[in-house]
Amino acid sequence: MAHRSQPSKATTPKEPRNKDRATRSMGQFLAREEDGQDSRRRILSFSSEEPYQRWFGPEILDHAGDAVDLARLNEVGVLLFNHDVDRVVGRVVRAWVENNRGMAEVEFDTDEDAERIFEKVRSGTLKTTSVRYRVDVWEEVAPGKKSQDGRFTGPCQIARKWTPMEVSIVSVPADATVGVGRSEEDGAAALALWERQIKINQNKLSGGKHEH
């Protein structure tokens, strides 16, 4: 007896992972004491050289010299909520690198949505920022080897030239080791993965064994 073949189900192929584009939660807000709490401006960190475990292995964002291209943030930088381009809650007044961290002064808008987020920042409910970035030049460091500048030990991949695309306030950080700061790859991380990431970052590529 002949069997009727069932039509095959169409499947949507997954888009290939892009090593050169990602986000991370890795910063925090700092109140501007000189302006008082009434000021709508805040200073935050949005990136650091803390190792971060991505799908291809440990990644480090270099902050030395001219590694970070801040032109975009300084010219047209905006502050988003949860990387939603339709939820602009403020603007980047200025961005710079200090003590191997990406820093920015931001000013919140006065519309209803921005005011709601600003109040949560003021109250301490929202503390974490995230940066979406693009990497242009990589250095791959083999296990046990030193990077070209001698600052990092492999295995790791170092973003030697990279550009912050935008800064966001996020409700669920992908890496909570530093507060309002990095986040993208496969969407919001599950809490179990988030906790695992904290342990990985604490190793700081010092030779400690990572969980698998």
**Residue 173 has what pLDDT?**
66
Q: Is residue 119 part of a domain?
A: yes
Residue 30 burial by Cβ neighbours in a 10 Å radius (0-12, 13-18, 19+): middle
In a domain, 154, yes or no: no
The answer to whether residue 44 sits within a structural domain is yes
Helices and strands, counts by H and E, the chain: 3, 9
Q: What is the pLDDT of residues 82-115, one digit of tens each?
A: 999 999 999 999 999 999 999 999 999 999 999 9
Query: Is residue 178, in this structure, part of any structural domain at all?
Result: yes
120 lies in some domain: yes
137 alpha-carbon distance from chain centroid: 18
State the average pLDDT for the chain.
76
How many structural domains compose the chain? Answer: 1
Dump pLDDT digits (tens) for 47-61: 999 998 888 899 999
Average pLDDT of span 42-49:
92
| 67-90 pLDDT, tens digit each | 999 999 999 999 999 999 999 999
Residue range(s) defining the domain that contains residue 177: 21-49+71-134+165-190
Domain-located, residue 152: no
Decide if 172 is inside a domain.
yes
Decide if 205 is inside a domain. Answer: no
pLDDT-based confidence at residue 181 (cuts at 50, 70, 90): very low
